[in-house]
C-alpha cells in the first residue's frame, strides 16, 4: 500500500506526535508498505529517506505549549507537489485542524483521507469560530482516529462528528531491552536511597517540573542520598533557581538525551514521575516508562488515568500538589515490594500499546477507507458507461 503521512509539527523538534509518526512509518516500511512523510524541516537538515521537507516552520503558541507550524503559499505548493508525486492509496493527516501542513493537505487532497486527532483541551471559542472555514476540508476526511477518549471528546465538542479511539504506539521491546546505566541506578530495591526520573521540556510549565522540584526538597530531606535525574531541553539554571544548595547537589540535569539514553534512563530509575499539570491527551512517556520496567507515579489527569488503567498500572497524585507527590514517592521508594508489583503490572499493561497491536488497528482503518474509495470509483465508472451507452 502507498501511504502518505502528514506531520503537523517540525520534524527536528522532539515531541510525542513526531515520535508516533516516525515509529509508525518505520513499522510500515518494515512490513513492506511504501511510505512518505511530509513534515516541516530545514531543507538542508539531515532527514530519514522517507521524510520530505515542506520547509521551515515558525513557532506558534498552541494548546499550552509552543508548536512549530508551517502555513503559506510556498508550503501549499510543496504539499500539492508531494501529493501529485506520491499518488497515495491512503493519505493519513495528523492534526488536520491547526493552520499547518495537515489542513493544507486536506484542502488539496483527492482520495481517501484518514485523520488522527491528538489534542485534548477545554472548549475553545477560537476553534468553534473557525469551524466554518475548516468544515469544507474536514468533510473530506473518510475516517477519524483519536489517540484517547479525551482527544475524541475534544474533537466532538469542537468540530462535531466522532472518531475511533486508537492509542499511540510504542516499541515496547526497544525500552524493555535497554541496558541500565549503573551511575543512574539508585537501587531502592536493595534499601538504598533510590533515583527518580523526569523527562520533559524544562521551560514548559504544563510539564510540571516545578511541582516535582518542590516535592523533591522534602524527599531529599527524608531520604538523604536520593537523586532526581532530569532530561530535557531548557535552561537548567533557571529551572533549579531557588533550590537549596544541598538539594541542588542531588538533582542532575542531563540535557537532551538520545532515544537510546532515554530508554536506558527509564530502565535505570527506581521511580518515574510525570507531574504534568494539563493539556495532555495521552501520555506516551508513561507507556515508555512502563515498557522499560519503571514504576510510574503520575498526576491525576484524565488522560494519565486512562493510560494507567485507572491507577491499576501506576499510582496517581492530585495535580499540582507537591506534598501529595512527596508522600507517594517516599512511600514507594521505601517499599521494594510495591515497586516490584508496579513493574510487573506495568509490563503486562503496555502490551496493548505495542506497535503490532496499534498498527494493526490503524491498517484496518486504511483498508476500510481504501476499499470504500475503490467501490465508489467503480460505481462511478459503471454510471459513466451506462450514460455513454444510452447516448449511443
50 and 184 both lie in a single domain: no
| Three cell numbers written together for 286 | 508513561
3-state class (DSSP) for residue 31: coil
345 and 377 both lie in a single domain: no
338 and 199 both lie in a single domain: yes
pLDDT at res. 358: 97
User: Which single residue is written with the C-alpha cell 521494594?
Assistant: 336
137 and 177 both lie in a single domain: no
187 and 300 both lie in a single domain: yes
User: What domain count does the chain have?
Assistant: 2
pLDDT at res. 60: 63
188 and 336 both lie in a single domain: yes
pLDDT at res. 336: 95
Instruction: Name residues whose C-beta falls within 8 Å of residue 364's C-beta, 6 or more positions apart in sequence.
Output: none
In the chain (392 residues long), the average pLDDT of successive 10-residue segments reads 93 86 96 96 85 80 58 84 96 89 90 91 60 77 93 85 93 96 89 94 93 96 95 93 90 95 97 94 94 98 94 97 98 96 97 96 96 63 51 45
263 and 348 both lie in a single domain: yes
CATH number at residue 142: 3.40.50.2000
Predicted model pTM: 0.85
382 and 345 both lie in a single domain: no
pLDDT at res. 156: 87
Is residue 252 classed exposed, middle or buried when 0-12, 13-18 and 19+ CB atoms within 10 A define those classes? middle
165 and 176 both lie in a single domain: no
| Three cell numbers written together for 149 | 477518549
Q: Cα separation of 24 and 16, whole Å? A: 12
Is the separation of the CB atoms in 134 and 103 below 8 Å? yes
**Residue 275, domain extent:** 172-352
182 and 251 both lie in a single domain: yes
Amino acid at each position: 500500500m502507498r501511504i502518505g503521512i502528514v506531520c503537523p509539527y517540525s520534524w527536528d523538534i522532539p515531541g510525542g506526535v513526531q515520535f508516533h509518526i516516525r515509529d509508525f512509518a518505520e513499522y510500515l516500511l518494515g512490513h513492506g508498505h511504501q511510505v512518505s512523510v511530509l513534515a516541516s524541516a530545514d531543507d538542508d537538515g539531515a532527514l530519514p529517506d522517507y521524510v520530505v521537507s515542506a520547509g521551515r516552520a515558525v513557532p506558534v503558541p498552541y494548546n499550552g505549549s509552543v508548536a512549530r507550524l508551517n502555513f503559506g503559499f510556498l508550503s501549499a505548493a510543496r504539499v500539492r507537489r508531494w501529493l501529485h508525486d506520491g499518488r497515495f492509496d491512503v493519505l493519513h493527516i495528523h492534526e488536520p485542524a491547526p493552520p499547518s501542513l495537515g489542513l493544507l493537505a486536506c484542502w488539496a487532497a483527492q482520495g481517501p483521507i484518514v485523520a488522527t486527532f491528538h489534542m485534548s483541551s477545554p472548549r475553545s471559542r477560537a476553534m468553534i469560530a473557525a469551524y466554518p472555514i475548516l468544515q469544507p476540508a474536514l468533510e473530506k476526511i473518510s475516517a477519524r482516529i483519536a489517540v484517547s477518549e479525551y482527544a475524541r471528546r475534544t474533537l466532538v465538542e469542537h468540530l462535531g462528528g466522532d472518531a475511533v479511539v486508537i492509542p499511540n504506539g510504542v516499541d515496547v521491546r526497544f525500552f524493555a531491552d535497554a541496558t541500565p546505566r549503573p551511575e543512574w541506578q539508585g537501587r531502592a530495591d536493595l534499601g538504598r536511597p533510590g533515583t527518580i526520573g523526569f523527562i520533559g521540556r524544562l521551560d514548559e510549565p504544563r510539564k510540571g517540573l516545578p511541582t516535582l522540584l518542590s516535592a523533591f526538597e522534602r524527599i531529599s530531606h527524608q531520604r538523604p542520598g536520593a537523586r532526581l535525574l532530569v532530561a530535557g531541553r531548557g535552561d537548567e539554571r533557571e529551572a533549579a533557581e531557588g533550590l537549596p544548595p544541598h538539594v541542588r547537589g542531588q538533582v542532575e540535569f542531563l540535557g537532551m538525551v538520545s532515544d537510546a539514553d532515554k530508554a536506558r534512563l527509564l530502565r535505570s530509575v527506581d521511580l518515574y514521575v510525570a507531574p504534568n499539570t494539563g493539556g495532555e491527551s495521552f501520555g506516551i512517556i508513561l507507556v515508555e516508562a512502563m515498557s522499560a520496567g519503571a514504576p510510574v507515579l503520575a498526576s491525576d489527569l484524565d488522560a494519565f488515568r486512562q493510560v494507567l488503567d485507572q491507577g491499576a498500572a501506576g499510582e496517581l497524585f492530585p495535580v499540582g500538589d507537591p506534598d501529595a507527590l512527596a508522600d507517594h514517592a517516599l512511600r514507594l521508594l521505601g517499599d521494594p515490594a510495591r515497586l516490584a508489583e508496579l513493574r510487573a503490572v506495568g509490563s503486562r499493561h503496555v502490551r496493548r500499546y505495542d506497535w503490532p497491536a496499534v498498527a494493526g488497528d490503524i491498517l484496518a482503518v486504511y483498508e476500510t477507507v481504501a476499499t470504500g474509495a475503490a467501490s465508489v470509483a467503480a460505481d462511478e465508472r459503471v454510471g459513466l458507461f451506462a450514460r455513454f451507452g444510452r447516448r449511443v
